[in-house]
A = this chain, B = another copy of it.
Amino acid sequence: MVKGNLVVGQSGGPTAVINNSLVGVIHQAMASDQIEGIWGMAHGIQGMLQEEFYDLRREAPLTLEILRNTPASALGTVRYRVKEEDYARLVEVMKKYNVRYFFYIGGNDSMDTTHKIDTVAKSVGYELYCIGVPKTIDNDLVLTDHCPGYGSAARFVASAIRNTAFDTEAMGDSGPIKLMEIMGRNAGWLTAAAALARAHEEDAPHLLYFPERPVSEEKLAADVEQVYNRYGYCVVGVSEGLRNEKGEDFGTAGPGDVDAFGHRAKLGVVEAVAEVIRKHLGIRARFDKPGYLQRSFAELQSPVDRDEAYQAGGEAVRAALRGETGKMVAFVRMPGPVYTVDMKLVPLEEVANRERHLPDEYINAEGNGVTPAFLDYARPLIGGPLPLYARLSKYMVPKR
């Protein structure tokens, strides 16, 4: 095994636990004699192109420990899409700095980058070990049971919609319809996680709408009306990627959207759904757009997710030291009643640029909620039940 330096980078949208994967890489690398420098790329692959590396061996152990509680990418992240001509340059930089171990924590774009670096290094005969560490709140990577980052985002979303639902229920007729816009432009995994807020049949969220199931204005309004008539209030989780039955984004159609210059002024998805409810039911819907809190709210890290993110970083280093390259760490759920996972390696090229959508068996027949199978899948990932809330039994005092 060749001795040399290690680089690690973080890419794409941050998560609440992504630094756990970074620290997992650092801790495991420190235990190896093969690895000399342990370097972080500043803002992912951009740092490599600009030869900007942080010396992670010099960081205080306590800093690394506290980083595990700290949201977002401590190395900085990047949205830069690597160009074909960059790859030769990247391998050249690695030669110059004797980088022999390359770890990239990211989603499917990052796995594509890692795969291409591996391919180019092989083609020029440069000995390099490249391993991808999965990360995405969208949970849309293929060949893995789930992705680090998802469990914590799922816990936040379930908790957030439950809190706002209690608020909505309390308001009664003063504000009976509440919408929450949930991240995931192409995949409904995070929207589906909102269902983990429910303990009873009548609990919120009552309706969930996914990118995988386009819905017409009429159907959506009828769904809301039915829930409102039954329970007196209605809480709806709406994916930011929701489309109507014509495949158009919610929020692009309808009168009033063209401004004085003829520009089509796009409403946000949740504003568009509120407008549908106003138009069809004559009720003002209120809404929350927690936005980037969904991926950064570190107080609600899932302990399972946090631990798995750390383990995935360590496993990546162990795999590289076994001589593996061109692979991504993936999670395999073990059969049995107790949640346990194992890790394996999958080929980067089969992960790169592919998306895993919410499968049919996890979406109910109406296309407006999840199945029990989804709840069984997702519940262990949020790392324990949400805190217990109570309702009054409401024994009525007899009227006089």
Q: Is A289 an interface residue (CB 8 A)?
A: yes
The 9 A-B residue pairs with the shortest CB-CB distance, nearest first, are A288-B291, A66-B390, A256-B259, A72-B170, A53-B397, A72-B166, A79-B174, A163-B296, A70-B389
Within 8 Å CB of A54, what residues of B?
Answer: 392, 394-397
Q: A interface vs B, CB < 8 Å?
A: 10, 14, 16, 37, 39-40, 42-43, 51-56, 58-60, 62-64, 66-67, 69-80, 96-97, 159-160, 163-164, 166-172, 174-175, 178, 255-261, 263, 265, 286-293, 295-300, 387-397, 399-400
Q: How far is the CA of A71 from the CA of B164 in the complex (A)?
A: 9
* A55-B397 contact, Cβ under 8 Å, with A67-B390, A290-B290: yes
The chain B residue sitting closest to A60, CB to CB, is: B393
The chain B residue sitting closest to A37, CB to CB, is: B397
How many chain copies does the complex carry? Answer: 2
The chain B residue sitting closest to A19, CB to CB, is: B390
- Residue from the list B16, B76, B163, B286 in contact with A71, Cβ < 8 A: B163
Interchain residue pairs with CB less than 8 A apart (15): A14-B166, A51-B400, A70-B390, A71-B167, A72-B163, A72-B167, A78-B172, A79-B174, A163-B296, A167-B292, A255-B260, A265-B265, A289-B290, A293-B293, A298-B387
Within 8 Å CB of A399, what residues of B?
Answer: 51
* A389-B66 contact, Cβ under 8 Å, with A255-B260, A293-B163: yes
Within 8 Å CB of A55, what residues of B?
Answer: 395-397
Q: How far is the CA of A167 from the CA of B298 in the complex (A)?
A: 11
Within 8 Å CB of A178, what residues of B?
Answer: 292
Contact A76 B170 (CB under 8 A): yes
Q: How far is the CA of A52 from the CA of B395 in the complex (A)?
A: 10
Within 8 Å CB of A394, what residues of B?
Answer: 42, 54
